[in-house]
Amino acid sequence: MSVSEDDPRRRIPRTDQLLALPPVAAARLRLGDHVVRGLVTGAQQRARQGEIEPDEVAAAVLDSLTAHRPTALRPVLNATGVVVHTNLGRAPLSESAIDALVIAAGYVDVELDLTSGARSRRGAAARAALLTACPAAEDGLIVNNGAAALVLATTAFAAGREVLVSRGELIEIGAGFRLPELIASTGARLREVGSTNRTHLRDYADAIGPDTGCVLKVHPSNFRIDGFTAAVDIAELSALTADRGVPFLVDVGSGLLAPDPSLPDEPDIGTALTAGADLVIASGDKLLGGPQAGVLLGRSAAVTKLARHPLARAVRADKLALAALEATLSAGQTPVGRALHADPGRLRARADRLAAELGAEVIAHEGRVGGGGAPGVPLHGWAVRLPEAAAALLRTGDPAVLPRVHDGACLLDLRCVPESDDQVLVAAARTALSGLVDDEHRRVP
């Protein structure tokens, strides 16, 4: 279609002119040429469609460059009261861990001894920090997640052989992944012992034979069975497996390093090792408060067997995870730790201030550990109650806020919201409430 001489679209800046603008040229180095060209084309198209004037195209390009994020992932304020929220990436990292990620983003000595110039053990500093934090372990190995840790362990000890597991511990973890299927994928054969609600030491003793690769005890972290139940503790199983010469693995799940009085029934790595487990498996991004990682701690012989297995390379942790985990273990309290042990009085004071600014009410609210940790254990606190319809506006706002929708209301629990973000949350909630008012006005005839 031809364009007349006086058509204002003739005044739309050419692509080469826009790309030559200094801020745009600098952005091409940061964002990539194809991204910047796409933003330029988008602004030009808006002018062709009459959405903006031709002389506004350059400003529109600069605005889009400022607003462009290098990732589609959006930061979210977690106002659910669930500390380890799997849908939000589980544990938020500490400032120290974030700094470590920036350092590790470039060239680093992840597998190099700078003094000798020779190759070194991968992630030696992270391993040292792990062993310092858990002195009951003789050695440790870090892989890319908890499921990978379990797969590596069962493959190394029982591929083509039997893994003995109590029927009451055949759990399903997130996104439909089931323990039996995970073990079967390693080439091991699952042998169930006991019953769903009661398993005894004699069940394991009767099942152990020449084809037993290992005995596996799994903490059923995301559910609880009460009533007529029985289970075998780690010390008893350790004595039995040692007597029979069978490796004994314990998956504690959430990565608690030592007992936490506020979570009395949550197993921890140190206690499991002291009780006699040969190898303990856990996740790094739950109660440990670090990045996604699988942690394996235990006897030197067991860890060495895993480290030398060919599968270990396929599941090894990258330099970013190693750096973040090292910093998590070496620094002070993590965001997860602060949220779990938040002072109820302080939470109430913050909730009162938020409610006063929004003209809302404060109600008692019980948060949760999340991520399969401490099921059924309430985290007593407070929440600000807003109309249920505000939830969608909060989730889609900027910044995004994830509240809890419960009992016909939108609840804002400040347990997992950094106090420095309280005013950000106030502004987001005001915008959402204002949107509700505007919507009501549009509905009125």
H, E, C per residue of 356-368: HHHCCEEEEEEEE
Can you give the residue ranges of every domain in the chain? 8-67, 76-85+338-443, 94-331
State how beta strands 248-253 and 279-283 pair.
parallel
**Residue 64: is its pLDDT beyond 80?**
yes
**In the predicted structure, residue 445 carries a pLDDT above the cut 60:** no
106 CB neighbour count, 10 Å cutoff: 7
pLDDT tens digits, 21-31: 999 999 988 88
The two most distant CA atoms of the chain are separated, in Å, by 94
- How confident is residue 431, by pLDDT bands cut at 50, 70 and 90? very high
- pLDDT tens column, 174-210: 666 788 888 888 999 999 999 989 999 999 999 999 9
Do 12 and 54 contact (CB within 8 A), yes or no?
A: yes
Average pLDDT (427-434) is: 96
b/e per residue, 279-293, with b = 16+ CB within 10 A? bbbbbbbbbbbbbbb
The tokens describing 259, both together, are 């007992």
87-96, 178-187, 241-250 — which is least confidently predicted?
Answer: 178-187
- 127 within 8 A of 140, measured Cβ to Cβ: yes
Q: Measure the CA–CA gap between 254 and 252, rounded to whole angstroms.
A: 6
| CB contact at 8 A, 157 and 249 | yes
Quick check: 441 pLDDT over 60?
Answer: no
Return the CATH fold of 76-85+338-443: Aspartate Aminotransferase, domain 1 (3.90.1150)
- Between 9 and 276, residue with greater pLDDT: 276
Mean pLDDT rounded to a whole number for the chain: 92
pLDDT band at 300 (very low <50, low <70, confident <90, very high): very high
* Each residue's pLDDT tens digit, 25-55: 999 888 889 999 999 999 999 999 999 999 9
Residue 78 pLDDT > 90, yes or no?
yes
DSSP line for 82-142:
BSSBGGGTBSPPPHHHHHHHHHHTS---TTB-TTT--B--TTHHHHHHHHHH-TT-SEEEE
Q: Which amino acid is at 187?
A: G
Task: Between 229 and 101, name the one with better pLDDT.
Answer: 101
Name residue 230's beta-bridge partners: 198
The answer to whether residue 63 scores a pLDDT higher than 80 is: yes
**Please, what is the Cα angle at 75 between 72 and 81, to 5 degrees?**
135
Q: Return the CATH class of domain 94-331.
A: alpha beta
